[in-house]
Amino acid sequence: MAVPDASKVRVRIAPSPTGFAHLGTASTALYNVLFGRANGGTFVLRIDDTDVERNRPEYELVIYESLHWLGLDWDEGPDKGGPDGPYRQSERLDLYKEHAARLLGEGKAYRCYCTPEELDAERKQAQAEKRPYKYSRRCLTNPPSGRPEFTVRFKVPGGEVKFTDMIRGEMSFDADLIGDFIIVKSDGYPTYNFASPVDDAAMKITHVIRGEEHLSNTPYQLMLVDALGYTRPVAYAHMPLILAKDGAKLSKRKHPEANLALYREQGYLPEALINYLALLGWNPGTSQEIFTFDELLRAFSFDRVQHAGARFDWEKLNWINGEYIRRLDDEELTRRLRPFLPNLDEATIRRAVPALKTRLTKLADAADLLDYLWTDPAPPELDPDSVESIRAAVHALNGVPWEPEPIHDALMQVVEESGAKPNKIFMPIRLAVTGKKISPPIDYTLALLPQDVAMSRLQRAIGGPA
RNA sequence: GGCCCCGUCGUCUAGUGGACUAGGACGCAGCCCUCUCAAGGCUGAGAUCGCGGGUUCGAAUCCCGCCGGGGCUACCA
């Protein structure tokens, strides 16, 4: 979508450090970066830490790490600074207080002394009478006295609130249905719907790109923007939600796949995750599935973003990740595999890489495939034929140069002499050496092991020297 | 309950009134390749386009109603 005016595009994400970094944060960040970069804009990271109860400073670091890992770097943020800092809402309290005071002074907001219990009772009664709930405005006309604690409520002007959503088009909400809502909590902190538009305005955010859960928050925020005399953002974009397999919104509690750290631990490539996330809720209109970041940048546009939530699907992610792994050159795969194979030296990993490449859906799988290199498998139960096969193999392998090709030739000799199918000979060897029925081709499997180790495992399997 | 968003193969989706016997991808099944497992190649199954009414010569596409899912309705964001 074209940018309507000449002013510099500024986008932002505003995660809350209330738990591990969320998949949705990555997705929102991606779309912000895609739109921001394509329009030569600035990407701002703001930390929305106004929930004193749930905030934890260490989670802020987790957010940084996850975003860096994905390559979604920001231009301004708490750690980098920038012209519109500070970028942590907990450090901008004075700003919100000023704005609240202004609203109070102009009669656009008022103090509310109602207790949570009283509010709850109001709400319950409305529900019992089957009438839509709106705050009664008791404290606007007739506030109780002698109560030290108060919140600040915005006096909702009502009317129709319209705005442009780059995905859904022209939106319109009836603000007469919205009750006076709280903008400053009794602890002095602003609520989300107050701090967010104030900061977006102060930070000159031109395009607000966020999850769909904020669609109905937008009229709240726009009324505040208007009341404060700020100019509204040029446009919004409310992205479809990422749903869990069961169709529910991805929650940190119920769905482990919401945790961004999981993908790094499992060995998903950041570029593969990005690719998958881009395709969740957006499509290029062509059959292309694999994109470099630059291709994404060029292809992305909000008018091809889906309106409905999309379910997260491990299978598709696995396939994309496998595609990316297969496209890595051997050197690069070796490098990326290193943290996942702490028991192996780099040379061994490098030798294993060609066989690994087509067998990995994620890097962590490599350990399952190669663990026979650092752990002795239990000797297998073998029938007499298998014992015979291994005995013949031990003879044939004796003194053979320890490389896949000579090993292969020697073993094929055994196969031919036995007149049996190759599998009859190879499977017992595989079992004896790896303890598993599945491995890369037997010659590679053997060659990766030091010759003496391989030979002793074979001998042990047949109960002594051949 | 009220307001808002949404509804095409199991999943992600193409589709904007006739080229739709509804296309692609993942997954699934079969075959080929093959020492096992993958990767790769080929083939196939899989969608009464949520349901019911309209409009039209003609509807997945337009209109209405219903149903279903999700979001907001918090001193969470």
Torsion-angle region of A139 (φ positive above 0: left; ψ -120 to 50: alpha; else: beta): alpha
Backbone phi, psi, residue A183, to 5°: -110, -25
The CA–CA distances, whole Å, from A121 to A125, A136, A150, A180 equal 6, 11, 18, 17
A48 touches strand B (CB under 7 A): yes
Model confidence pLDDT, tens digit, residues A403-433: 999 999 999 999 999 998 999 999 999 999 9
Please say whether the beta carbons of A430 and A437 come within 8 A.
yes
Mean pLDDT of chain A, nearest integer: 94
For domain A376-461, say whether CATH 1.10.10.10 is its number.
no
Q: Quick check: A85 CB within 7 A of strand B?
A: no
Is the CB atom of residue A405 positioned under 7 angstroms from any atom of strand B?
no
HEC string for chain A = CCCCCCCCCEEEECCCCCCCCEHHHHHHHHHHHHHHHHCCCEEEECECCCCCCCCCHHHHHHHHHHHHHHCCCCCEECCCECCCCCCEHHHCHHHHHHHHHHHHHCCCEEEECCCHHHHHHHHHHHHHCCCCCCCCCHHHHCCCCCCCCCEEEECCCCCEEEEEECCCEEEEEEHHHCCCCEEECCCCCECHHHHHHHHHHHCCCCEEEEEHHHHHHHHHHHHHHHHCCCCCCCEEEEECCEECCCCCECCCCCCHHHEHHHHHHHCCCHHHHHHHHHHCCECCCCCCCCCCHHHHHHHCCHHHECCCCEECCHHHHHHHHHHHHHHCCHHHHHHHHHHHCCCCCHHHHHHHHHHHHCCCCCCCHHHHHHHHHCCCCCCCCCCHHHHHHHHHHHHHHCCCCCCHHHHHHHHHHHHHHHCCCHHHHHHHHHHHHHCCCCCCCHHHHHHHCCHHHHHHHHHHHCCCCC
pLDDT tens digits, one per residue of A215-246: 999 999 999 999 999 999 999 999 999 999 88
Q: Which nucleotide is nearest to A360 (CA to C1')?
A: B38
Whether CB of A289 is under 7 Å from strand B: the answer is: yes
pLDDT score of A392 more than 80: yes
Pick from A376, A356, A358, A378: which is nearest to A367 by CA? A356
Distances (CA, A) of A391 to A264, A404, A432, A456: 44, 19, 12, 12
A463 class by beta-carbon count within 10 Å (0-12 exposed, 13-18 middle, 19+ buried): exposed
Query: What residue segments make up the domains of chain A, in order of their start?
Result: 10-243, 376-461
Total Cβ atoms within 10 A of residue A166: 19
- The pair of structure tokens assigned to A316 is 């598709």
* Residue A27 identity (one-letter amino acid): S
CATH topology (fold) of A10-243: Rossmann fold (3.40.50)
Beta carbon of A342 within 7 Å of strand B? no
pLDDT above 90: percentage of residues in chain A: 89
Q: Is the CB of A281 under 7 A from strand B?
A: yes
Q: What's the confidence (pLDDT) of residue A251?
A: 83
Predicted pLDDT at A76: 98
First to last CA, chain A: 74
Report the protein residue whose CA lies nearest the C1' of nucleotide B11.
A313
Is any atom of strand B within 7 angstroms of residue A426's beta carbon? yes
Q: CA of A213 vs C1' of B47, distance in Å?
A: 30
- pLDDT confidence band for A3 (50 / 70 / 90): very low
pLDDT by residue (tens digit) across A121-164?
999 999 888 888 999 999 999 999 999 999 999 999 999 999 99
Residue A1 pLDDT > 50, yes or no? no
* Span A186-206, pLDDT tens digits: 999 999 999 999 999 999 999
Nucleotides of B under 7 A from a protein CB: 1-8, 10-15, 24-27, 34-40, 69-77
Whether ipTM tops 0.90, in short, is yes
Dihedral sign for Cα A303, A230, A104, A149, please: positive
- What's residue A246's pLDDT? 83
- Summarize pLDDT for A168-180 with one digit per residue, the tens: 999 999 999 999 9
State the pLDDT at residue A129.
87
Distance A182 CA to B74 C1' (A): 10
Q: Measuring CA to CA, which residue among A360, A324, A300, A321 is closest to residue A27? A: A300
Nearest to A411, CA basis, from A454, A457, A459, A443: A443
Checking if the pLDDT of A5 tops 80, the result is: no
The string of pLDDT tens digits covering residues A333-366 is 999 999 999 999 999 999 999 999 999 999 999 9
Distance measured from the CA of protein residue A278 to the C1' of nucleotide B71, in angstroms: 22
Q: Judge if the upstream peptide bond of residue A86 is cis by omega within 30 degrees of 0.
A: yes
Nucleotide whose C1' lies closest to the alpha carbon of residue A196: B77
Token readout for A89 is 């809402």
Q: Which nucleotide is nearest to A120 (CA to C1')?
A: B74
* Positions of A marked active-site: 252
Bigger pLDDT: A264 or A129?
Answer: A264
